[in-house]
Structure 1
Amino acid sequence: MRKSMVAAALLLAGTAQAGEGMWVPQQLPEIAGQLAQAGLELDPAQLGDLTGQPMGAVVSIGGCTASFVSPRGLVITNHHCAYGAIQLNSSAERDLLSEGFNAATPGDELSAGPNQRVFVTREIRDVTDEVLARVTPRMSGLARQDAIDAAQKALVAGCEAEGGVRCSVFSFHGGLSYRLFTQVEIRDVRLVYAPPGSIGKYGGDVDNWMWPRHTGDFAFYRAYVAPDGTPAPYSPDNVPFEPARHLRIAGQGLEEGEFAMVAGYPGRTFRYALADELAETVEWSYPTRIELNQQLLDLIEAAGADDREVAIRYAGFNASWNNQMKNFVGQLEGFQRSDALARKRAEEQAVLDWLRAQGRAGRPALQSHRALQALHGQRVATRERDQLLGVFGNIGLLDAARRIHRLSVERGKPDGERAQGFQTRDEAAQRGALEQLERRMAPEVDRQLMALFLARYVELPAAQRIPELDAWLGGDDQATRDFRLDTLYAGTRLDDTRQRLEWFDAGRAAVEASDDSFLRLAVALAPAFERIENERRRLAGEDQMHRPGFLQAVIDYNQAQGRAVYPDANGSLRITYGHVMGYSPADAVHYAPFTTLEGLLAKDTGEDPFDSPGVQLDLIRERAHGGRAMERLGSVPVNFLTDMDVTGGNSGSPVLNARGELVGLVFDMNWESVASNWVFDPEMTRTINVDIRYLLWVMEQVFPAPRLIEEMEFAPRP
């Protein structure tokens, strides 16, 4: 029954237009006609072959997308996706964030860190029946979630038994269906090339989400494996991975109006969320996160103002919080501009009216809708606490202490009963996070972050306070908090990597008997975090009980209206397509789809973030285009717009032409489209992409990398 429901949803894809839609590979046969009509020259069935060309070259790198561009494991992605690896290898004395990096030889390529991965998707399989086999209607929410988790862990364990792969189960349409993804997990990833920050991050946070744009947001990794070809941790004996597929470079790029498509791993969208969920986001969640993010950014900026080493260590957090905050501001403006909440309520009401008109047949879905509204109310009741823990829960020494203690507890259980994230398969990543901590944290700044956390914590409503934390704190006043922080930071050695790793390998009894102040705090707080986690799991189980029923009604309603249905983005592989085109954000305003070198020159001020390298400015003035100019523009195109549907996680995705050749990289969306995570607007939604011609021009003339140019394969001109 569930499979037939999903099949019905996929059939609706036939009404989709270019632009909107993040299609799963299994849907492509249903939109084959429209792909051809839009300009695709490949057989659409070719895009459904995950190991074929070009899909076999597209990879996930964890939070971003990338692609192989040579038979020797060379991987291209965004500069901002490689930012963590660049930061990890930077110091005040060797500032790669500013200077850039260009490995002269393979031996000069730098480890991207113990936790950087390249995931090559090999297979996608429907496992809905297996996941839901032990789920019964009368189960409590927590029991239901436990049954689903157990089924997923069993599927993953069976999938990973052969070794060398990473397997994940993804939920679609709120639990209406599940698919198992099998990916080769490459664990030795090295930084090969990153342009100077004045190219790769040109425009900085000022230009972020904006058009026109002039950013060279690209970088290169290389994937390495053991000499026998199997995935292995970093070793000087490892050799470049030889992918089955790699993309060819279309050096001529695209013209306005031409077909384009993107394959990638978009993170999260919420287009099927309830109107109440959108309302809470608009009225509380985003405004409070904006305010909190600004506090975090002010703290980090002040700490790093006179200490470049501190600024480098927190560069990743700074970039992430800035990006997130500006995104939230843009979404709120977009919601207001498009009257998104009113539209959402009207759309939801139309589905409810349609269900009521069906009489008895519509009652189960109406009941599911009421149940989801009630669950949303329960989540709202603890939103202040949950948001605070969500923001601060993965920062610094307290996070390290909680990881160490939690893993020591989970190791005492059979692997299949351990919490996800703390199984044997996860221990290498947990160790890697602890190894890297000193390059991403300074104790004096960590203390300031903890002080901010506690200052906001004591302002929580009484019902949301955590008794264990209150007991440790001993009072709400400033003097008490300062005393507790002084004691906490004076009594720990977790700021030392060797000590952290010793505790990582210790058993539960030793950890819980430790006199380290942070470990003692982690042990004291463990019961509270367990309660909060179990409550979250209960809510998730009850949500899964009701959301599939209501979303099936949404699918059926849209089918009756002749509208397309595609699943919300969830981090799994998707394909979207469209065309190169500009847009008009306001009356009498039209944005062209390409920016040029001359536009970059006009924007440059010589001061951060508009401070191009002098050699680049000289080349532009000399009109030294090196054969990379676009004839119609009379210049080298820098960035370009398409109307494709993307979101976070698509960063670094290859932009492909009608023949599946690389013509650019997705790296951003325009300001007017950031609300599309919730409500898609085809008139305003645009992706911002690095043009392949600018990328090659930089690598040939500005920050030369002849070794890499020679390594890549170029497609012949059509």
Structure 2
Amino acid sequence: MKKLLLSLIVGIMLIPTSVKADEGMWFLMFIERLNHRDMQKMGLQLTAEEIYSINHHSLKDAIVQFNGGCTAEVISKDGLVLTNHHCGYDAIAELSSAEKNYLKDGYWAENRKAEMKPSSLYVRFFVRMDDVSKRILSKVNDKMTEAEREKAVNQEIALIEKENNEGGKYTVSVRPFFQGNEYYYFVYQDYKDVRLVGTPPESLGKFGGDTDNWEWPRHTADFSMFRIYADANGNPSDYSQNNVPLKPKHYLPVNLSGVKEGDFAMILGYPGRTNRWMPAGGIEQNVKFAYPAFVEGSKVGMDKMKVYMDKSEALNLVYASKYAGVANYWKNRQGMIDALTKFGTAKSKAVQETKFNKWANKKENKAKYGNVIANINKFYSLTNEKARHDNYLQLLFRASSYGTIGRTLGKQLENYAKADVAKRKEMYPKLVETADEFFKEVHIAAEKDIMAAELNLYATKSKGYAIAPMVEKIGKENNYDYTKFVNAAFDLSILTSPERFKAFLELPSETMITNDPLVQLSNDMITHLGSKSDEIAKAQNDYGSSFRLLVEGLRESKIGTIKYPDANSTLRLTYGKVRSLPADKRNDAKVNNYTTMDGMVKKYKKGDEEFDLPVRLIDMNKGKDYGRFIDKDGSMHVNFLTDNDITGGNSGSPVLNGKGELIGLAFDGNIEAMAGDVIFDSKLQRTINVDIRYVLWVIENFSGAKHIVDEMTLVK
């Protein structure tokens, strides 16, 4: 791998040493200065202006954040949007029913009128960004507590956001980078009328299920399609039958040539969170305390959900999306434990921190940096058991729809009860709508089992840190079997049926809602999660300032080698190449950088929920019925590998060639490099992508929806 010499922004970033070309999640506004020359050497044929421009259309205008958590791309002049199947999963599940199960059977709109609007779905376009570090940092000083610093920063952020939103036209977000040593603002425009165009059946979109998740070789059609609608002038608009497909500033052409080892590949998207500056103590805490609790809590919730999902198609739809979300992170966290342990990441960080501490205690540095490592280590030693406790409790909140009911429906009903008659009349329709949506996504028998099991796990496994008082009291009285209490609480609560909920709206009582047993339990747990001792509060304050100084000092001393900010759901570009893993007998492909439909069919297990396949696909593969999307080697390529640096939030990101043409769709990473959120492994880190030709084959040949493909601009 060639080495780079990057010249960074004077006074903002330090001049870096060598960095792997495939490592880094880079700001688009700095591509010209930081990365463009190296990208050209690797195969980029675009100018920096064609990637990011404020005044002209560019690649950035085709990339959207999808519903706040994934990435998607515009691929036609009529606002057609491509993202992952698992990113569209919630919307597809919402639009499905037992009679018309689009998750199971797939769906392709035969025309624009057949495109379906979920209740809540939006995309966010990136308009521009700028540096406001000097402005914000001028408002703080070293004498401030972390709370005082945060207040001063937030006050300035509010002013910056107001100055740049153009009267509410744009959403403006100011975000910290390098642990609060730099700040940038981002301007976005949101479109809320987004409709489902199509999705493959779940047997293709989730092929391999939990077994293959985070694994290679992979054979998954992890994609779905939507369309952005706007008013007649192209502006954002709430849903209306009068809205028309958006005419985007830029959309991506689709390349049908396929990829080979060493081809240039870049990915643009919204990576959610990396922690590559995390201290050794934080890594150790996650591996030994936080993540094991997360994994165990996830498994308990999944097992209880699955019992009911297997009972009927209707119940499967109720919990399909929640189960998928919990299962995804369950396997991710276990992979993180394994990878971070295997590679001794905490030890390598500790070595770096020992070196830093020596530098920090030199005479000229001691006053500023001398206590940094000691403060950081003290914080982690005080919070290890709390981290375990918090993860058990947070997984209860993730798995149980009633875990946080006190601050959601409960709080809304309390406010309703306190309001005057006129205000109640105004609130009533929205509350009824909220309740209707809530009860669509719960099954009371399942919720009882989930709650009782998660409470038992939380109460019996969080012994190193005091549990919530109400949970402890109930546990002691019932030998930590919460079944009896939970059953009684659900029977008494006004939040367990639409009828009880609406009856409360007719005769509201503040006492009734605050005394509701599920609201009381929820509030007890939420309050406890947010509480901390004075000792921990002091350590947390010292940790906040010390972590910021650690990052500043690592950059100043050049002991730290990371030259890009951690991911935080802002638009980034990563570049690398198509790159194989060592030969694997499980993959029938000639080079272990792609998989084929033949390999997919070999995994087929009739009736298996993870590895079943449509008979039509098996027959088409047998006849090599690949149409115009066949590879030159005579096979249908399904997924392929690149060495791009991505993380959660990049799901749905476009994989582009040197001309900015779409060649694939990022959807996963390999479990061997699961430590990638903390430390980049240049040998093992891979991005798993759907080959765009397989996407088009599924739409045109398998599904018979050629009219969707005809919208796109196809090139070879």
Q: What is the TM-score of this pair, normalised by structure 2? A: 0.88
Aligned length: 693
* Superposition deviation, residue 255 in structure 1: 2.3
Farther-moved stretch of structure 1 (452-461 vs 530-539): 530-539
Q: Retained in 1: the 8 A contact 2:8–2:15?
A: no
Which string of whole-angstrom CA distances, capped at 9 and with x for unpartnered residues, describes residues 46-74 of structure 1?
A: 32326632111001011110011112221
1: distance between equivalents of 2:20 and 2:348? 20
Paired residues for 1:540-551 under 5 Å = 542-551=542-551
Alignment correspondent of 2:670? 670
Task: Name the CA shift for 1:7/1:449 in 2 (closer, same or farther; >3 Å).
Answer: farther
* Superposition deviation, residue 93 in structure 1: 2.1
Task: Name the CA shift for 1:429/1:314 in 2 (closer, same or farther; >3 Å).
Answer: farther
Farther-moved stretch of structure 1 (483-492 vs 152-161): 152-161
Paired residues for 1:333-348 under 5 Å = 333-348=338-353
Alignment correspondent of 2:112? 106
Amino acid at match of 2:602: A
Alignment correspondent of 1:17? 20
2: distance between equivalents of 1:545 and 1:230? 43
Q: Retained in 2: the 8 A contact 1:474–1:480?
A: yes
Question: 3-state SS of the aligned residue for 1:553?
Answer: helix
Amino acid at match of 1:464: A
Alignment correspondent of 1:421? none
- Is it true that 1:49 corresponds to 2:47 in the alignment? no
Q: Which has the higher contact order (CA 8 A, sep 6+)?
A: 1
Task: Name the CA shift for 1:19/1:601 in 2 (closer, same or farther; >3 Å).
Answer: same
- Is it true that 1:63 corresponds to 2:66 in the alignment? no
* Superposition deviation, residue 657 in structure 1: 0.4
Alignment correspondent of 2:661? 661
Alignment correspondent of 1:425? none
Paired residues for 1:171-320 under 5 Å = 171-320=176-325
Alignment correspondent of 1:419? none
1: distance between equivalents of 2:27 and 2:595? 32
Q: Retained in 2: the 8 A contact 1:165–1:183?
A: yes
What percent of counterpart residues are identical?
29
2: distance between equivalents of 1:670 and 1:224? 36
Task: Name the CA shift for 1:515/1:291 in 2 (closer, same or farther; >3 Å).
Answer: closer
Alignment correspondent of 1:417? none
* Superposition deviation, residue 712 in structure 1: 1.4
Which string of whole-angstrom CA distances, capped at 9 and with x for unpartnered residues, describes residues 304-340 of structure 1?
A: 2223222221111211222212222222332233232
Task: Name the CA shift for 1:450/1:391 in 2 (closer, same or farther; >3 Å).
Answer: same
Paired residues for 1:124-523 under 5 Å = 124-160=129-165, 162-356=167-361, 358-394=362-398, 395-406=400-411, 436-459=437-460, 460-461=462-463, 464-467=466-469, 470=472, 473=474, 475-478=476-479, 481-496=482-497, 510=510, 516-519=516-519, 521=521
Amino acid at match of 1:199: L
Task: Name the CA shift for 1:392/1:704 in 2 (closer, same or farther; >3 Å).
Answer: same
Task: Name the CA shift for 1:513/1:329 in 2 (closer, same or farther; >3 Å).
Answer: closer
* Superposition deviation, residue 9 in structure 1: 6.3
Which string of whole-angstrom CA distances, capped at 9 and with x for unpartnered residues, describes residues 121-160 of structure 1?
A: 1121223344445433233333333333344344434544
Amino acid at match of 2:72: A
2: distance between equivalents of 1:497 and 1:536? 42
Which string of whole-angstrom CA distances, capped at 9 and with x for unpartnered residues, describes residues 159-201 of structure 1?
A: 4462243222222111111222211111122111100111111
Unaligned runs of 5+ in 2: 1-6, 418-428
Task: Name the CA shift for 1:530/1:409 in 2 (closer, same or farther; >3 Å).
Answer: farther
Alignment correspondent of 2:613? 612
1: distance between equivalents of 2:234 and 2:348? 53
Alignment correspondent of 2:92? 86
Q: Retained in 1: the 8 A contact 2:82–2:226?
A: yes
Task: Name the CA shift for 1:377/1:27 in 2 (closer, same or farther; >3 Å).
Answer: farther
Amino acid at match of 1:466: A
* Superposition deviation, residue 257 in structure 1: 1.3
Task: Name the CA shift for 1:406/1:492 in 2 (closer, same or farther; >3 Å).
Answer: closer
Amino acid at match of 1:640: F
Farther-moved stretch of structure 1 (209-218 vs 543-552): 543-552
Task: Name the CA shift for 1:655/1:13 in 2 (closer, same or farther; >3 Å).
Answer: farther
1: distance between equivalents of 2:325 and 2:83? 17
Amino acid at match of 2:45: E
Alignment correspondent of 2:422? none
Alignment correspondent of 1:572? 570
Q: Retained in 1: the 8 A contact 2:385–2:465?
A: no
Amino acid at match of 2:569: G
* Superposition deviation, residue 265 in structure 1: 0.6
* Superposition deviation, residue 439 in structure 1: 3.1
- Is it true that 1:31 corresponds to 2:35 in the alignment? yes
Task: Name the CA shift for 1:533/1:161 in 2 (closer, same or farther; >3 Å).
Answer: farther
Which string of whole-angstrom CA distances, capped at 9 and with x for unpartnered residues, describes residues 508-537 of structure 1?
A: x84876665444555666755664699999
Q: Retained in 2: the 8 A contact 1:128–1:179?
A: yes
1: distance between equivalents of 2:544 and 2:50? 34
1: distance between equivalents of 2:118 and 2:532? 34
Task: Name the CA shift for 1:71/1:504 in 2 (closer, same or farther; >3 Å).
Answer: farther
Alignment correspondent of 2:425? none
Which string of whole-angstrom CA distances, capped at 9 and with x for unpartnered residues, describes residues 268-287 of structure 1?
A: 11111101111111222222
Which string of whole-angstrom CA distances, capped at 9 and with x for unpartnered residues, describes residues 190-215 of structure 1?
A: 11110011111111111111111111
Amino acid at match of 1:596: T
Q: Retained in 2: the 8 A contact 1:404–1:503?
A: no
Question: 3-state SS of the aligned residue for 1:191?
Answer: strand
Amino acid at match of 2:20: Q
2: distance between equivalents of 1:526 and 1:281? 22
Question: 3-state SS of the aligned residue for 1:81?
Answer: helix
Q: Retained in 1: the 8 A contact 2:413–2:513?
A: no
Which string of whole-angstrom CA distances, capped at 9 and with x for unpartnered residues, describes residues 31-60 of structure 1?
A: 222111111111134323266321110010
2: distance between equivalents of 1:588 and 1:231? 48
Which string of whole-angstrom CA distances, capped at 9 and with x for unpartnered residues, describes residues 547-592 of structure 1?
A: 221101211333x78x451111111111100111102289999961
2: distance between equivalents of 1:217 and 1:469? 41
Alignment correspondent of 2:426? none
Unaligned runs of 5+ in 1: 413-427
Amino acid at match of 2:673: S
Q: Retained in 1: the 8 A contact 2:71–2:649?
A: yes
Q: What is the TM-score of this pair, normalised by structure 1? A: 0.88
Q: Retained in 1: the 8 A contact 2:405–2:522?
A: no
* Superposition deviation, residue 222 in structure 1: 1.2
Q: Retained in 2: the 8 A contact 1:650–1:666?
A: yes
Select 2:122's aligned residue among 104, 117, 122: 117
2: distance between equivalents of 1:56 and 1:531? 43
2: distance between equivalents of 1:232 and 1:501? 31
2: distance between equivalents of 1:429 and 1:247? 39
Amino acid at match of 2:299: Q
Q: Retained in 2: the 8 A contact 1:670–1:685?
A: yes
Which string of whole-angstrom CA distances, capped at 9 and with x for unpartnered residues, describes residues 229-266 of structure 1?
A: 33233333332222211111112232221101000011
Amino acid at match of 2:495: L
Q: Retained in 2: the 8 A contact 1:14–1:564?
A: no
1: distance between equivalents of 2:647 and 2:216? 17
Alignment correspondent of 1:684? 684
2: distance between equivalents of 1:43 and 1:431? 53
Amino acid at match of 2:447: D
